[in-house]
Amino acid sequence: MKALLKRGFNLLDSLFSRAFTPAWNPLYQLGALSFFYFWIVAVTGVYLFIFFETSISGAYSSIEQITHGQWYIGGVMRSFHRYASAAMGICVTLHVLREFAMDRYSGPRWFSWVSGIPLLWLLFASAIGGYWLVWDQQAQYIAILTAEWFDALPIMVDPMASLFLNESTLSDRFFSLLVFLHIGIPLALLLGMFIHIKRVTAPRSNPARGLAAGTLLAMLAVSLWRPALSQAPANLDMAVTEVGLDWVFLNPYPLINSWGPGNTWVLLVGLSTVLCLLPWMPSRRPKRTPVAVVDPDNCNGCGWCLADCPYEAVSMKEHDFKKGHKQSVVDPDLCVSCGICAGACPSSSPFRHVDELTTGISIPELHIKELLARTEASLAKLSTDQPRIMLYGCDHGSVVPDIQSSTVAAISMPCAALVPPAFVDYVLRQDLAEGVLISGCCEGDCFHRLGNTWVDQRFSMERMPVLRTRVPRERVRLRWLGAQGTRALQREVVEFQRELAEAPALIDLEDVSSG
């Protein structure tokens, strides 16, 4: 099921990236979009609250007045409020499914996964509370069933459902309580959302501006075309017969009625528990690889690995034996052995005057020394019939070993950001290859969150360690095509080789610059 889901997302990723560009791809920013929709709901909610009357007769009539009396602003606000909350519900659901499909919920990511489960409950509670306030037929339906659902809990002494026996048993104070809950629960949700991203380095809580603008425009269009409307007013003296439901949030309600409140509790609490335990399920637990190791002799305390670690697994402490210096420390509980730290370390340079290459921080699975040895060994085997290419790829992106040939050497690693920019310089300067191509996960959707972003920034000299200016840029390519882009990458390699064949030799370029 998971593989199928992943395949589905990969297909959709390609489709959306083509239409939106990777930077605007909504599937890469489902969490950020959820935040965005939350803010829309919050802002429009404040406006609606100004005109809302907290009484039995006033609740429905005041919302009708907002919807029809000031359709041009109040009606649009109400529609935004409803459609943004539904959009948030769908984005959150897709976010959960995507993180599950892409295996981004275990290891150090357990915290974000587990802290997200209560947020689902808070999101549903916020939305359901909002529907009560309208006090129409739908509100009557969910009010009675929610009360009966809670009455099934053994902690309830007086049945809450007794509040909704008939028109005479309901009081205005009930609506004051509802408003309080409808403000309090979303605030708790917001707090939970901040906790959810607390352990994430550089969390993305704002979508790309273009995507945000497009979403707003689309929502405005549907709000004007099909404004959110109330159903017939609630009347507790008559039972609800047929009712229109918001199936995004109210889908458990028919279950409460047909299955019984107790069974529905068991189902939903059971499902939430299973979701919470998912990161520790034996079959889903990822293979634990040895974590990054710091070599104090070669760590100068620059902090670049600290800045680049996407999991906040690196911190700094006093140097073991250099007084007044800092030294990196790795938290083994948070490290996922992606190797991004090794790519960030200034000591990971093959140009260093040392007998054997070593570095300040590296992962045992692929030490920087081994990466260099493999690079040199695989390039040495290449034929010179065509321009030689060094292709570095990541284990989660395009399958680079499939592209290996007599003129293309390929090395796959946990994350493309493991390749220090100095390696590219070294390969070209030592004339080991005519071109270097680095590939990995789709832009904006790195398995290790920020790997391809850091590589982009290092190579465009926006982030340390930079790719030196002397490296001819036309001999270096970065391609983020993802797991589904192996064929496209193959075409890129062929194209790159063709261009390199036509380009002047490196030695000529150096002659020109020195001359």
Crossing angle for the helix pair 172-196 and 30-51, nearest 10 degrees? Answer: 160
- Closer residue to other proteins, CB minimum distance, 241 or 469: 241
- Closer residue to other proteins, CB minimum distance, 114 or 488: 488
- Contact between 155 and other proteins by CB under 8 A: the answer reads no
Binding flags for other proteins, 174-213, as an x/- string (CB under 8 A): ----------------------------------------
What is the rounded distance in angstroms from the CA atom of residue 311 to the CA atom of residue 448? 9
- Contact between 254 and other proteins by CB under 8 A: the answer reads yes
Q: The dihedral of CA 302, 307, 310, 316: what is its sign?
A: positive
- Contact between 240 and other proteins by CB under 8 A: the answer reads yes
Which pair of structure tokens corresponds to residue 60? 């429905």
- Contact between 161 and other proteins by CB under 8 A: the answer reads yes
What is the helix (H) or strand (E) element at residue 79, kind and residue range?
Answer: helix 76-101
Considering only CA atoms, which of 480, 350, 493 is closest in space to residue 415? 480
Q: Min. distance of Cβ 135 from other proteins in angstroms?
A: 16
- Contact between 111 and other proteins by CB under 8 A: the answer reads no
Q: Min. distance of Cβ 242 from other proteins in angstroms?
A: 5
Q: Min. distance of Cβ 89 from other proteins in angstroms?
A: 9
User: Of 151, 312, 370, 395, which lies in the binding site for other proteins, with binding defined by CB under 8 A?
Assistant: 151
- Contact between 133 and other proteins by CB under 8 A: the answer reads no
Per-residue exposure over 360-389, b if at least 16 CB sit within 10 Å of its own CB, e if not: bbbbebbbbeebbeebeebbeebeeebbbb
Beta strand pairing call for 361-362 and 314-318: unpaired
| 93, 94, 97, 100 alpha-carbon torsion, rounded to 10° | -110
- Closer residue to other proteins, CB minimum distance, 246 or 434: 246
User: Of 50, 157, 507, 512, which lies in the binding site for other proteins, with binding defined by CB under 8 A?
Assistant: 157
Instruction: Return the HEC string of 415-482.
Output: CHHHCCHHHHHHHHHCCCCCEEEEEECCCCCECCECHHHHHHHHHCCCCCCCCCCCCCHHHEEEEECC
Of the candidate spans 53-61, 68-76, 140-148, 479-487, the one that interacts with other proteins by CB under 8 A turns out to be 140-148
Q: Is 209 exposed, middle or buried (0-12, 13-18, 19+ CB in 10 A)?
A: exposed
| 482, 462, 26, 118 alpha-carbon torsion, rounded to 10° | 100
- Contact between 8 and other proteins by CB under 8 A: the answer reads no
- Contact between 93 and other proteins by CB under 8 A: the answer reads no
CA distances from 3 to 10, 91, 98, 102, 279 (A): 10, 20, 11, 9, 17
- Contact between 71 and other proteins by CB under 8 A: the answer reads no
Q: Min. distance of Cβ 210 from other proteins in angstroms?
A: 9
- Contact between 96 and other proteins by CB under 8 A: the answer reads no
Instruction: Please give the biggest Cα pair distance in the chain.
Output: 97
- Contact between 97 and other proteins by CB under 8 A: the answer reads no
- Contact between 459 and other proteins by CB under 8 A: the answer reads no
- Closer residue to other proteins, CB minimum distance, 221 or 461: 221
User: Of 215, 298, 348, 412, which lies in the binding site for other proteins, with binding defined by CB under 8 A?
Assistant: 215
Binding site for other proteins (CB under 8 A): 16, 18-21, 82-83, 86-87, 90, 141, 144, 148, 151, 157-159, 161-162, 165-166, 168, 214-215, 217-219, 221-222, 225-226, 228-229, 231, 236-248, 253-254, 257
